[in-house]
Amino acid sequence: MEQFIEWISQPWPWYIAGPLIGLTVPILLLIGNKSFGISSSLRHACAACIPAGIPFFTYNWRKEMWNIVFVIGILIGGFIATTFFANPDVIVVAASTQADLAALGITDYSSLLPAEIFTWDNLFTAKGLLFFVVGGFLVGFGTRYAGGCTSGHAIMGISSLQWPSLVATIFFMLGGFVMTHFLLGPLMALVGF
């Protein structure tokens, strides 16, 4: 049992994790013609909790309850993994990436998110407003505007040969490159990094 705990606590190589994620698509399609994606669960939760007669939330959300259960399972699994199976090693970040991040004031790699940005202390600062509120709004707006999130389009859409998903995934990647190489530095300087 101890060897199993040690094995499951380590990062899995791409050739195991990738196929497991990829197998989600055919399993969902075979089990009940379901599409993989996370962002739609927020709509289902709002439809269940806000019976205000808003047309966007007026549909049979109970038919999509599996999606809410799926997301709850992800949250529970994430909690179990980080609480009981956390990898004690420092996150490995390439030396060139560390140099680029150090120039922006990010040097703490002790968790999945940079502690210099994602802390409770930063929540009510200009930094927090920019990264949490404005960034969160843009992610939510972009997800709704694109008709789905990165996991839905890149994993489910492309594997089922949907042209709009390929286009959306290309633009997700381009947006990430533009943000990383052109916008992140000026934004960090703007909020005092």
Q: What is the pLDDT of residues 128-165, one digit of tens each?
A: 888 888 888 888 888 888 888 888 888 888 888 899 99
**Residue 109 or 177, more confident:** 177
For range 62-85, the mean pLDDT: 88
Helices 135-146 and 163-178 pack at an angle, to 10 degrees, of 160
pLDDT band at 193 (very low <50, low <70, confident <90, very high): low
Q: How is residue 104 written in tokens?
A: 């922006």
CB 41 within 8 A of CB 67: yes
**Residue 86 or 24, more confident:** 24
Predicted local confidence at residue 12, as pLDDT: 81
Predicted local confidence at residue 152, as pLDDT: 84
Rounded percentage of the chain residues whose pLDDT exceeds 70: 99
- Indicate whether 76 pLDDT > 90: yes
pTM higher than 0.85 for the full model? Answer: no
CA distance 8 to 11: 8
